[in-house]
Amino acid sequence: MIIKNSGPGSSIHVDFVPMVDVLFNLLIFFLLATSMAQSEREMSIALPHAASSGPISAAMREIIVNVHADGKAEVAAKIVTLDELSTMIRGAASANPDQKVSIRGDRNASYASIAAVLDTCKGAGVQQPYLETIPLN
């Protein structure tokens, strides 16, 4: 004689497949979001050496401006003019007064083109734009 358990918890079934699907989707989302933020730091810009350079950190709300050897400015993998850069930074600085801007100038870029980007950042409301370098060996 087989006796069935008819208690209140005997018919509950928890399906783990949808929960695992959601976890995998979240994992893929965060991996892609992290790699996109890191790709801006891995542009083909040859930074100059400096004895007092700081560590290169990936700040989340930081605007990174790459200045190529030919003097062109690039933000988020898009070449921008100084007017477009000023508009972009002015909008970000109005939303966040402590907006951070890092300028990564190629070591072969002219100082005039890097100074123009620095001047544009200061004119747009960023108090202290950061000029990135790599440490001496």
* pLDDT tens, residue by residue, 80-103: 999 999 999 998 888 888 888 999
Residue 28 maps to a domain: no
Residue 87 maps to a domain: yes
Residue 6 maps to a domain: no
Query: Going by C-beta distance under 8 Å and a sequence separation of 6 or more, which residues neighbour residue 37?
Result: 58, 60
Q: What does the pLDDT read at residue 131?
A: 87
Question: Which helix (DSSP H) or strand (DSSP E) does residue 57 occupy?
Answer: none
Share above pLDDT 70 across residues of the chain, in percent, rounded to a whole number: 77
Residue 130 maps to a domain: yes
- Print the domain residue range for 130: 45-135
Residue 88 maps to a domain: yes
The CATH number given to whatever domain includes residue 128 is 3.30.420.270
Confidence (pTM): 0.57
Residue 55 maps to a domain: yes
Q: What's the domain count of the chain? A: 1
Residue 68 maps to a domain: yes
